[in-house]
Amino acid sequence: MNTAIAEIQPGKPILAMDHISLSFGGVKAIRDVSFDIRKGEIRAIIGPNGAGKTSLLNVINGFYHPQEGIINYKGAKRNDMKPYVAASQGIARTFQNVALFAGMSTLDNIMSGRMLKMKVALPWHIIRFGPAEREEIEHREFVEQIIDFLEIQAIRRTPVGRLPYGLQKRVELGRALAMEPELLLLDEPMAGMNLEEKEDMSRFVLDVNDQFGTTIALIEHDMGVVMDISDRVIVLDYGQKIADGTPDEVKNNQNVIDAYLGVAH
Closest approach of another protein to the CB of residue 211, in Å: 7
- C-alpha pair distances (Å), 190 with each of 22, 72, 123, 203, 240: 26, 29, 40, 12, 24
Count the Cβ atoms, other than its own, within 10 Å of residue 188. 20
Query: Could you report how far apart the first and last alpha carbons of the chain are, in Å?
Result: 40
Q: How far is the CB of 218 from another protein (least distance, A)?
A: 20
Question: Which CB sits closer to another protein, 12 or 140?
Answer: 140
What phi, psi does 207 have (nearest 5°)? -65, -40
C-alpha span between 178 and 172 (Å, rounded): 10
Nearer to another protein, 207 or 248 (CB): 207
Minimum CB separation of residue 116 from another protein in Å reads 22
CB of 107 to another protein, least distance (A): 8
Choose between 7 and 141: whose C-beta lies nearer to another protein: 141
Q: What are the distances in angstroms from CA 246 to CA 6, 38, 105, 252?
A: 27, 13, 39, 10
Catalog residues that contact another protein under the rule CB under 8 A. 140-141, 144-145, 147-149, 151, 153-154, 156, 207, 210-211
Nearer to another protein, 98 or 152 (CB): 152
CB of 108 to another protein, least distance (A): 13
How far is C-alpha 69 from the chain's CA centre? 21
Q: State which residue, 54 or 106, has the beta carbon closest to another protein.
A: 106
Shortest approach of another protein to residue 29 CB, angstroms? 39
- Of 80 and 148, the one with the shorter C-beta distance to another protein is 148
